[in-house]
Amino acid sequence: MEPAHAVTSNGNGSYDCDIISWFDSVSENAAIVQRETLGRILELNYGVEYLKKWFGDVKIQEMDACALESLYTSLVPLASHADLEPFIQRIADGDTDPILTQQPITTLSLSSGTTEGRPKFVPFTRHSSQTTLQIFRLAAAYRSRVYPIRDGGRILEFIYSSKQFKTKGGLTAGTATTHYYASEEFKIKQEKTKSFTCSPQEVISSGDYKQSTYCHLLLGLFFSDQVEFITSTFAYSIIQAFASFEEHWKEICNDIREATLCSRITLPRIRKAVLDIISSKPSLASQIEAICEDLQASDWYSLIPRLWPNVKYVYSIMTGSMQPYLKKLRHYAGSLPLVSADYGSTESWIGLNLDPSLPPEDVTFTVMPTFSYFEFIPLYRQKQDLTSGTVDFIEDEPVPLSQVKVGQEYEIVLTTFTGLYRYRLGDVVEVAGFYKGAPKLNFICRRKLILTVNIDKNTEKDLQLVVERGSQLLSKFGAELIDFTSHADLMHQPGHYIIYWEIKGEVEERVLGECCREMDASFVDHGYVVSRRTNSIGPLELCIVERGTFKKILDYFIGNGAALSQFKTPRCTSDQMLLRILNVCSIKRYRSTAYN
C-alpha cells in the first residue's frame, strides 16, 4: 500500500504524478483500504498483551477484512490516553515484552502538552517518520501544481528540535518533530522534493530557540535570493520569528556584512556551523538595511516579499488554535498566498490539504486512509439541557470512515501502527464533503471544554470567536491583539471568566471597557447566557497584561521541555505558575457591564 514511486522516481514531474495517482487510488477505495489497514495493524501486532486482553485466542488471521473490522470494534473498547498510560509507562520503564506492538518500541514522543496541560508519552516508530515523509511529499506535489517552485531552491524553515532524553528504561524521548528532524526521512524529503532547508542540523537542534531563531533568520537572509517558500510547523513560530527580527535586524545585517556572529549566539556548535556557511556580503547587508528602514515606517507590512523576493508562498498550520495569528501573518506576507498545512498529531497524521489555493479559513483535510484506521464518534451539541454539568456533547456509536455524513460533527478515534487501539484523539471535526471515497474534514476544536463555571460549556472555538469579536474594536483604534488566554475563576463567588490580552498600541480605557462588555455579550452558549442573567456567573473580567507576557509563557513551557515547533498557547489555564505570570504582569483590569 505504498506509493509505487518509493523506489523509482526520475525527476519531480513524474514523481508528483505517481504519488498523486497513488493517493487518488487509495481515496477512491478508501473503505476497502481502511479495512486492509486495520488488518495489517492487527496482523503485525497479533498476540500483544493489550490485544490479547480483548481478543483472547481468536484467530484473526483466518478472518476476512469485514468480519475482522466488526469483531475488532465490538471486542476492543474505546480508550483514552489515561487508559493506555500504564502500558506506555511500562514500555518507558524498560519492559520489553510485546505490550502494545510486536516490534520493540525504542522511542517515545512527547505530545506538546500545551493543549492538555501536561505532556503525554506516545509510541514513535519508523512508521511515524515514514508517514511524515509520505504526507510531506504528497503535500509538496499538490502545492507544486498550484505554486511551482524551482528545483534546488531553498526553504526558510522555522523549525526547532527539543532536547531528547532517556526514560528510566533507556528509551529515547522527545517531541515527534524532534525525532523527525533527526531521522533519515527528513534528509530524504529534502532530496526528493529538491528543496533544501537554509539551516544546518546544529541550528535546528540547538535546544535554545532564541539562538536558533536568530540563525534561521540570518541564514534565510544570507540565501535570500534562493528562498522559494517560508514555513514552520505551526504559524505561531513564524510570527515569533519575525517579531524577533523586528528587534534584531541591525545585528543580523551586521553579521551578514562582516561574516560574524553576534555575541548572543553562545553555543559553540551552532557558532561553528553557521560561521562555516556564511561569508561577507556587504552589498546584501546594505540592501536589507535600506529595506528594513523602509519597513519600519510601515509597521513591517509585507516584510516577507520585500526581503525574500523569490518566495512563492508561506506554508504552515494556520487552522484551529493558529487562526488568531492569521491577521499578523497576512500583515507580514502582504500579497503572498498563505498555504495552510496538513492535519496531524503526535499520535498519527490524519488529513491532507488538497487545495493549496484556498484561504486558510476554508481549508479542509482529506483523510489519509493508509496511515491509521479511523473511526468517528458522532457528536450532537446539547442546546437546551442545562442539567448535565460538564457533559459537552451527546455521543452516538462510532462509525467507520465510509459511513460519516456531511455536515455532522465527530470526535476522531485512531488505531495506529504504533500500538494505539481505538484511541480517542480528543479533536472535534466536521465532515465538509468527500474527495472520492475519503472524507474531507474541517477542524473544529479540541473536544475538552475549556471554560466552564457551572452549567456553561465553552470550547476553544467559542472563546476564539468571542475574542475575535471583542478585538475588532481594537483594530478600529489602531491597536492589535498579540495573544490571549483565559481562566475560569471559581475561587471567588460567583465564579466568572477572566480573559487575558496582550496588546500592541495605546487604547483608551473606555474602548477596553467596551471590548470587555462585547466579549461577555458574545458568548452564545445557552448555559452561560442564563447564568449571567441570574448572576450565577459573575461579569467577565478582561485583564490587560504587559508587553512580553506571552513570551514569558512560551519560555515557561520551553523550560519544561516543550518544543517551539509544536507550541500552542494554552487558550485556557488553571496552571498555578502560568496564572502567577499572568497576574503579576496584569496592568489593567475591567469588569463587563453586559447583563447589568
Give contact residues for ligand AMP (rule: CB under 6 A). 111-112, 115, 317, 319-320, 342-346, 425, 427, 443, 446, 566
Residue type, 147: Y
Cβ-based nearer residue to ligand AMP, 392 or 427: 427
Cβ-based nearer residue to ligand AMP, 371 or 443: 443
Supply 230's cell numbers: 517560508
Shortest reach from residue 367's CB to ligand AMP, in Å: 13
What is the CA 362 to chain-centroid distance, rounded? 17
Shortest reach from residue 396's CB to ligand AMP, in Å: 21
Q: What is the DSSP letter of 418?
A: T
Query: Is residue 494 reached through a cis peptide bond, with omega within 30 degrees of 0 on the bond before it?
Result: yes
Cβ-based nearer residue to ligand AMP, 246 or 468: 468
- At residue 504's C-alpha, the angle toward residues 498 and 234, to 5°, is 75
Cβ-based nearer residue to ligand AMP, 273 or 377: 377
Cβ-based nearer residue to ligand AMP, 330 or 496: 330
Cβ-based nearer residue to ligand AMP, 12 or 112: 112
| Crossing angle of the two packed helices 12-28 and 30-44, in degrees rounded to 10 | 90
Cell 514513535 -> residue: 124
Describe the strand order of the beta sheet including 313-317 as a list of residue ranges: 195-197, 153-158, 227-234, 313-317, 338-340
Cβ-based nearer residue to ligand AMP, 249 or 315: 315
Supply 168's cell numbers: 528510566
Cβ-based nearer residue to ligand AMP, 48 or 354: 354
Is-contact 308 227, C-beta < 8 A?
Answer: yes
Residue 300 class from Cβ within 10 Å (0-12 exposed, 13-18 middle, 19+ buried)? buried
Shortest reach from residue 571's CB to ligand AMP, in Å: 11
What is the CA 124 to chain-centroid distance, rounded? 18
Cβ-based nearer residue to ligand AMP, 72 or 236: 236
Instruction: Measure the CA–CA gap between 25 and 2, rounded to whole angstroms.
Output: 11
Q: Mapped to the 3 state alphabet, what secondary structure does 196-242 carry?
A: EECCCHHHHCCCCHHHHHHHHHHHHHHCHHHEEEEEEEEHHHHHHHH
Question: What is the bridge-based pairing of β-strands 227-234 and 195-197?
Answer: unpaired
Shortest reach from residue 142's CB to ligand AMP, in Å: 15
Instruction: Measure the CA–CA gap between 298 and 307, rounded to whole angstroms.
Output: 14
Instruction: Measure the CA–CA gap between 326 and 562, rounded to whole angstroms.
Output: 23
Residue least distant from ligand AMP (Cβ)? 320
Write out the DSSP string of 367-400.
E-TTTSEEEEEEEEE-SS----TT--EEE---EE
Shortest reach from residue 374's CB to ligand AMP, in Å: 13
Cβ-based nearer residue to ligand AMP, 477 or 556: 556
Cβ-based nearer residue to ligand AMP, 128 or 211: 128
Shortest reach from residue 369's CB to ligand AMP, in Å: 18
Shortest reach from residue 423's CB to ligand AMP, in Å: 12
Residue 283 class from Cβ within 10 Å (0-12 exposed, 13-18 middle, 19+ buried)? exposed
273: number of Cβ within 10 Å: 18
Shortest reach from residue 440's CB to ligand AMP, in Å: 13
Shortest reach from residue 342's CB to ligand AMP, in Å: 6
Cβ-based nearer residue to ligand AMP, 112 or 178: 112
Write out the DSSP string of 534-563.
TTSSPPPEEEEEPTTHHHHHHHHHHHTT--
Cβ-based nearer residue to ligand AMP, 159 or 218: 159
Shortest reach from residue 163's CB to ligand AMP, in Å: 16
Shortest reach from residue 161's CB to ligand AMP, in Å: 14
Shortest reach from residue 458's CB to ligand AMP, in Å: 17
Cβ-based nearer residue to ligand AMP, 161 or 319: 319
Shortest reach from residue 175's CB to ligand AMP, in Å: 7
Instruction: Measure the CA–CA gap between 339 and 355, rounded to whole angstroms.
Output: 9
Q: Residue 592's closest CA among 525, 548, 528? A: 528
Cβ-based nearer residue to ligand AMP, 324 or 527: 324
Q: What is the DSSP letter of 103?
A: S
Shortest reach from residue 120's CB to ligand AMP, in Å: 8
SS3 15: helix
How far, CA to CA in Å, does 96 sit from each of 93, 105, 465, 574?
9, 8, 47, 37
Shortest reach from residue 114's CB to ligand AMP, in Å: 7
Instruction: Measure the CA–CA gap between 319 and 340, rounded to whole angstroms.
Output: 7
HSE-up (13 A, CA, CB side) for residue 149: 26
